[in-house]
Structure 1
Amino acid sequence: MSSPEIPFANYQYEIYLRGSMMNQRPRRPLDWQRLEEQAAATLARGPWGYIAGGAGRGDTMRANQAAFDRWALSPRMLRDVAQRSTARTVLGTPLPAPVLLAPIGVQTLAHPDGELATARASARTGVPLVTSSASSFTFEEIAEASGDTPRWYQLYWPKDRTIATSFIRRAEAAGYSALVVTLDTWLLGWRPMDLDEGFLPFLWGEGNVNYLQDPAFRALLAAPPEEDMQAAIGQFAFQFSNPAVTWEDLAFLRETTELPIVLKGILRADDARLAAEHGVDGVIVSNHGGRQVDGAIGALAALPEVVDAVGDRLEVLFDSGIRGGSDALKALALGARAVLLGRPYMWGLATGGEDGVVDVVRSLLAELDLAMALTGHRTIDDVDRSALVATP
């Protein structure tokens, strides 16, 4: 992890020096489009479709990218940026930069080490991982792999509250410091890439280990999963999420834990105001990376309205569409307290395991540091909407 004396931007000099002095080229492309292509060539069609696919025709995924194109950074000159800081504390979690690794399930589809590799990369870079309920390893195993680096836990709200309570208690015991509740996946979106392959890993027991090993979940089974896996998977499919949950049910979470509660999937100002009224601590503006509703608004396009509505009452974070440091800076300039990086670190995981994730994260941090400096900002807290101009 970079220290204040060694800016993240210096990563580029490491690369140049290795190339010039030792004739060593980067192990993976640093251009995210080429890295994505390499990951696609590495994986079979089923796993790749699960990682890369979106809902319907993919219009929401394209809208996420187009929303970034509607804003341009506006550099300012002759400002002292020799000493810089990207550090920020978000919901009590100190961050070396306002970046977290988004919750992504079933990471063993990309690499055998899955979330353990990502957690080790988190420990090496200092960028926290938000662990998914649908991980291929248990919350506890992932926490151990991430060491002393802060980590958050993401909950898919199950139908039975005893399972939700058990999951939250396990996360607390494993040292997770915030609870992220995903709101936009009560039902799976229409995902043609997965449907074309008939590919849903949970149905053969991949990505549901946290359920299969949970005491509250196992108490609902007539026989343990080791004796009747198909019945256990059927119970998992029934319990995975609860489309009957409403705003009033948030009181249960607040009564269950003292961890900061963050709602992921907010895209409207009125929903953000309801979140504030119901006592949560933060929201994540996100459309699930375009995987749920086709034809939805680009997440960045929704961000300013949410910030204006509740930014003085809640921590507002951003997810869906971040591809590089300049993207991250645009979201931060529009008021996000932090951003979540999603698919790009999965491309790194697919092409290089733990080292691949580290390379992607260090590249993002370096570009964010450079973009901040080259637009005339010494600290991330100096960045605001004056750093942007709207494009035609």
Structure 2
Amino acid sequence: MFSALLHECLVPVANLTSGGPNSLTPDADLDPGNVRAAPEIHTKLGSLRGKYESVKGKDTGVHAYLGVPFAKPPVGPALRLAAPQPVEGWEGVRDATKQPLMCIQDLGLSIGLLETVGFIVDLPDISEDCLYLNVYTPANRPENAKLPVMVWIHGGGFVLGSASMYSGSALAAYQDVVVVVIQYRLGLLGFLSTGDEYMSGNIGLLDQIQALKWVQEHIHNFGGDPDLVTIFGESAGGVSVSLLLLSPLSEGLFHRAIAESGTAALQLLFQDDPQPALQMVANISGCSTESTEKTADCIKKLDMENILTIAKEKELRYPLITDGYFLKNNVEELFLQHQLLNVPFMTGVNNHEGSWLLAQVNIKD
């Protein structure tokens, strides 16, 4: 029931039209009044100019800040497949009115899957420079508001998805909360591992940690309460939520958690051996497997053409591994030993869970 309510409010952008239910579009009207003027917010990193978004059924909509950086761009051999680094500040006022570029993925597959479930959407392009988040905050919030914060982690099997696919405008306006929609590195660039220090793995999950650190430091500037943060996600986002509960790195970063249609109990996602995926990537790219150091060095220097070729390889399954850092032990042991954050946790599934996938299956006698 609660999951259904959340999805009624946090809906794919493809459902939205200007002035329609839960409106969030690049062309949403800007009105010249007080709360409806293009809003500017000041943080210790720099200033951001967002935009006003109307929401059907509400007299006052939200202020939206899109494409807000929460980490350094993870580009170049030193930062590719490495833990995210804190974002640097900027001079002047940063434009925060456009959706961020999506993390590297098979864009054609993403569009095709959206069309399969009835959504036609003009998605942004893809880029390694993708560690950004969107913030939606009620436009009529008091000056010193301390509203609850909800951080959405998108699904997509850890290989697809983006912040631009979801709008937090209706949830923010109707429930009087600040909504944050994050992105994280996917597929090869988010989860490939050598199993040692050269590419430790779980990088996409570390991106999520970095985004939550940003929320703790800056969400008060948007009217949010850093001491009242709920993380929630669906499918791979739900798995991420439950993994964050198991990670010691999450301590103090959130206070409630909701996993929809996916948890870390999905053991097929977890492997102690990262070598099969690593070997396949090395074979496709031509990188040496003489040592993990040489393999990692080669992969970190691959050109984008090679990266995109690998991103489209449908047989690749990137493991979530016990890395000794994000996950101190394997997931089953952590659950059995009750080594998880002591915060309220809600989980559930939908009726006919996954039934839309049947349309993709050819049944043979």
TM surpasses 0.5: no
- Give the helix-richer structure, 1 or 2: 1
TM-score, with length taken from structure 2 = 0.30
TM-score, with length taken from structure 1 = 0.28
- Give the strand-richer structure, 1 or 2: 2
